[in-house]
Amino acid sequence: MALEKSRVNRPLFTPFNIVAGIILIVGLFLTVSRFWGGLGTVTNLDNNNPWGIWIGFDLLCGVALAAGGYVTSAACYIFGLKRFHSAVRPAILTAFLGYALVVFALNFDVGRPWRLPYPLFFSQGTSSLLFEVGLCVFLYLNVLFIEYSPAALEWLGYKKIRNFVVKLTLVLTIFGVVLSTLHQSSLGALFLIAPSKLHPLWYSSYLPVFFFVSSIFAGMSMVIFEGSLAHRFLHHKMDKTHLDESLGVALGFGKAASFVMMGYIATKFIGIASDNNWHYLATGWGLWFLLELIGFVAVPAFLYAVAVRDKNIKLVRIASILAVLGIVLNRLNVSVIAFNWHLPSSARYFPSWKEIGISLFIVTIGIIAYRFIATKMPILHEHPDYKNDH
């Protein structure tokens, strides 16, 4: 009781609340500026660079890092690895918030955001990859909402609806995996139409494969990273099951991620060999490419392997941070840094501080939403009325 009282009496002006409050206030000001004055008032975008970090970071990185939802649910419900069950709800929540914020961020990037649903319902371009991505993201966001809803329904006390939704788990998981396979790969395929703009080391006919395979270990790494943060800041909300299974989840996903990352490295070199782009590795761009591939894929894969062998949870968490940063770097390389690489520096795109501020604003909303939901709802613990109901 004393512990609960101390939580209730926590001060309002904590460092987190102060920083988050400042970001939200500035973000709201920038949001008004963007929608009142248009894209030109807050971005450095132009006709040569129509996509910036709102696509490269908010969308491409957001979708990749939200892949933990389909990876974790598939591992638990399709492959029968029930030892990962405690990680399903946190992963689904992270994925749901990630995709919801991707759609939210698109409203900033689209010139006329009120027409965002127009291609889906009024003018379907069925031969367009962008239409396929939009349709899959729209459907998968609804799937994630339904997969997340049992936690909210348990919190609200709607047992009958909750029990009905739980019966749909396997169907929703299979549908989610199919949709994720489609749009994760199609996001890479979008850049196949720009062979003259994207640097040859990142451009490849295997781009859809690269994006899909990397989303698998990105999802696993994000589950480990998110679990580490939850242990640090929401430890008091975890029950014995989550605490006991956390080591097995981290080591199991670390082991799987290590294998997938090694396979990803192999496919990357196959892509270079098929296009005979070896000579680019001796250039400055080649060094940057090798930094991404070795420093943020090979190194964390090796760290994962060593950590699993030694059962070293700290090393697993370090590897997950490097892997998450590697995914962010890769998506930014494809969409921003190595895009229009042949243009002079004066014509290259660099985001304005307002673009960065809005991206930070969106990420902060996600963190606050996750914190609120995980604190109030049975995400990191099982509801007492549904113990072992899986």
Q: Give the per-residue pLDDT at 3.
A: 43
**Contact (CB, 8 A) for 179 and 95:** no
**Contact (CB, 8 A) for 25 and 33:** no
Q: Give the per-residue pLDDT at 9.
A: 57
Percent of the chain with pLDDT over 90: 78
**Contact (CB, 8 A) for 204 and 274:** yes
Measure Cα distances from 180 to 117, 161, 177, 325 in Å. 20, 26, 5, 21
**Contact (CB, 8 A) for 67 and 191:** no
The whole-angstrom separation of Cα 377 and Cα 374 is 6
Q: Give the per-residue pLDDT at 1.
A: 45
Closest by Cα among 274, 319, 269 to 297: 319
Q: What fold, for 50-345+354-381? A: Formate dehydrogenase/DMSO reductase fold (1.20.1630)
Interval 89-107: pLDDT, tens? 999 999 999 999 999 999 9
Structure confidence at residue 2 as a pLDDT band (50, 70, 90)? very low
Structure confidence at residue 388 as a pLDDT band (50, 70, 90)? low
Residue found under tokens 């069950």: 85
Burial of 348 (C-beta count, 10 Å sphere; 0-12/13-18/19+): middle
Measure Cα distances from 59 to 48, 160, 183, 188, 390 in Å. 20, 36, 12, 12, 33
Q: What mean pLDDT value characterizes the chain? A: 92
Interval 38-69: pLDDT, tens? 999 999 998 888 889 999 999 999 999 999 99
Q: Return the axis-axis angle of helices 129-156 and 88-109, rounded to nearest 10°.
A: 130
Q: What is the mean pLDDT of residues 291-316?
A: 97
Q: Give the per-residue pLDDT at 150.
A: 95
Q: What is the mean pLDDT of residues 274-296?
A: 96
Amino acid letter, 144? L
The answer to whether residue 27 scores a pLDDT higher than 70 is yes
Q: What is the mean pLDDT of residues 344-368?
A: 94
Q: Which residues pair with 339 in a beta bridge?
A: 198
Of residues 345 and 201, the one with the higher pLDDT is 201
Q: Give the per-residue pLDDT at 117.
A: 83
The answer to whether residue 273 scores a pLDDT higher than 60 is yes
Interval 358-373: pLDDT, tens? 999 999 999 999 999 9
Q: Where are the alpha helices (DSSP H) in the chain?
A: 2-8, 15-37, 53-55, 62-65, 68-73, 88-109, 118-121, 129-156, 159-167, 169-189, 207-233, 240-275, 284-290, 299-310, 313-332, 353-376
Residue 145, both tokens: 């909402």
Of residues 12 and 20, the one with the higher pLDDT is 20
Sequence spans of domains, the chain? 50-345+354-381
The answer to whether residue 4 scores a pLDDT higher than 70 is no
Which own/partner contact pairs does 262-268 have at CB distance under 8 Å and 24+ positions apart?
262/301, 263/213, 264/210, 264/213, 264/214, 264/217, 264/297, 265/293, 265/297, 265/298, 265/301, 267/206, 267/209, 267/210, 267/213, 268/210, 268/293
Interval 201-254: pLDDT, tens? 999 999 999 999 999 999 999 999 999 999 999 988 998 888 888 999 999 999
